[in-house]
Amino acid sequence: MGLMRQMGLMGVLKQPITLITLISPICSISPIDLIVMLKRFLLLAGCLGFSLIAAAQPKPNILILYADDWRHDTLGAAGHPVVKTPHLDQLAREGIRFTRAHVTTSICGVSRATLFTGQWMSRHGNPAFEMFKTPWSETYPGLLRANGYYTGHIGKWHNGKFPAEAFDFGRSYAGTHFIKQADGSTIHVTQKNENDALEFLRTRSKDKPFVLTLAFFATHAEDQHPKQYLYQPTSAALYQNVTIPIPTTAGDEYFKLLPPFIANEKNEGRNRWHWRFDTPEKYQEYMKAYYRLATEVDSTAGRVLAELKAQGLDENTLVIFTTDNGYFHGEHGLADKWYPYEESIRVPLIVRDPRMPKAKRGTTNDALALNVDTAPTILAAAGVSVPATMQGRDFAELYLKAKVRDWRQDYFYEHATIRSTDFIPSSEALVQRDVKYLYWPDFKYEELFDLKRDPQETRNLINDSKYAKRLTALRQRFAAVKAAAK
């Protein structure tokens, strides 16, 4: 301790900490004292080394590419036979693609609240499209701005009034595919997303790291427009000579297998199916238009990623591509989302992380990653403490650690009633890897699906005696995960 007292801790920290620094003033020290000093040096290095190395590394930039109404398999990288997404496919080759990513609530507003807060609906308090109740200071944009980040949000918000003042660069718009600008001209929403993102990157504060949430409106339909999916004229040639495969569960016989309060013409999922898919000709027209919107998002993502590279930022930017919910393409005789079936609750998730080992790049991971995990992952990458109120977990563990033994094996799904039980009834579920238990609170109705034997969820096993013991355990587990979500 004598040497440390002579030099003082601050004196040590103000110069490079090396063995030479410590022993050069005292070359005549005895061998025993030298051993003691070496031990103290190693202890000091252990205590301070990691923090000093971290301080020397620049904080990563963070880019969230957040698309709308886009399910897990609508990617070339996922093996889709039709849709073209070359830039997102390249991102997957440079990063990792999570094949079993899910949302905890499958609707735009609630899922976006979960994105920002890292919380289930039961905690953040937005049941549909309201502002979440979680303090802004406990969201990832709020925390990153408080910790020196230049923050941006572009595009869809859908959580009450957009808090533009909470961002350094904030522009919110959505709802229509073509937008009238201040000069009277019209621009497609995805092109505006692109223009604004490039402006953000080119005009941002250069002395700060940045975080940008680029929230696309596409591939969401323009619900009040008869054509639904209004793509840019330059995309018209895409998919013209392709026949879109019709899902095997699109027929009326599968629609009739749904609970009776869903399998009726008052239900909004069925109503929108009529808008888009109720004839073979309509199905081809609307799905091709939908895929054109997806390819346009992919093209914009590619240009934004190219700008990162042009600015020399690509090797120090965490990039996350994901979406707010899945989407029915006519399966079960339905359109849109909301309900806890696979097509609705599974989303794409691609991550390119500067910290990612080379061996992990271009791989896939089938862990249950959730949208509640995104906020804590972002904060952890930025070196910002994750609030105790966040309920998700840093999914970077899944590619930064050799093994993660205690990752979740199930989760709680929830969705509130929208407008009325005829329109969109509330739903809850316990989702596990091989089985799913659904509970419809408005009707006290249960479903049980064996996802291994019946991945398309066409056979309700709730009254099957072979599953009686498993059902008892699932009900108990359901109650536990539901309570934990609050």
The enclosing domain of 169 has a CATH number of: 3.40.720.10
Q: Do 435 and 465 lie in a common domain?
A: yes
Parts of the chain with a pLDDT under 70:
1-56
Query: Domain ends where: 16, 39, 56?
Result: 56
Q: Do 303 and 339 lie in a common domain?
A: yes
Q: Provide the pLDDT for residue 426.
A: 98
Q: Provide the pLDDT for residue 8.
A: 39
Query: Domain ends where: 391, 411, 431?
Result: 411
Domain that holds residue 420: 412-484
Q: How do residues 39-94 score in pLDDT, each as one tens digit?
A: 554 455 454 544 444 445 799 999 999 999 999 999 999 999 999 999 999 999 99
Q: Provide the pLDDT for residue 57.
A: 75
Q: Do 390 and 428 lie in a common domain?
A: no
Q: Do 396 and 417 lie in a common domain?
A: no
Q: Provide the pLDDT for residue 40.
A: 59
Q: Do 236 and 380 lie in a common domain?
A: yes
Q: Do 119 and 41 lie in a common domain?
A: no
Q: Provide the pLDDT for residue 51.
A: 45
Q: Do 477 and 427 lie in a common domain?
A: yes
Q: Provide the pLDDT for residue 25.
A: 43
Q: Do 286 and 431 lie in a common domain?
A: no
Query: If DSSP states are collapsed to H, E and C, what string results for the chain?
Result: CHHHHHHCHHHHHCCCCCHHHHHHHHCCCCHHHHHHHHHHHHHHHHHHHHHHHHHHCCCCEEEEEEECCCCCCCCHHHCCCCCCCHHHHHHHHHCEEEEEEECCCCCHHHHHHHHHHCCCHHHHCCCCCCCCCCCHHHCHHHHHHHCCCEEEEEECCCCCCCCHHHCCEEEECCCCCEEECCCCCEEEHHHHHHHHHHHHHHHCCCCCCEEEEEECCCCCCCCCCCCCCCCCHHHCCCCCCCCCCCCCCCCHHHHCCCCCCCCCCCCHHHHHHHHHHCCHHHHHHHHHHHHHHHHHHHHHHHHHHHHHHHCCCHHHEEEEEEECCCCEECHHHCEECCCCCHHHHEEEEEEECCCCCHHHCCEEECCCEEHHHHHHHHHHHHCCCCCCCCCCCCCCHHHHCCCCCCCCCEEEEEECCECCCCCECCEEEEEECCEEEEEECCCCEEEEEECCCCCCCCCCCCCCHHHHHHHHHHHHHHHHHHHHCC
Q: How do residues 307-366 score in pLDDT, each as one tens digit?
A: 999 999 999 999 999 999 999 999 999 999 999 999 999 999 999 999 999 999 999 999
Q: Do 420 and 319 lie in a common domain?
A: no
Q: Do 340 and 271 lie in a common domain?
A: yes
Q: Do 260 and 312 lie in a common domain?
A: yes
Q: Do 224 and 180 lie in a common domain?
A: yes
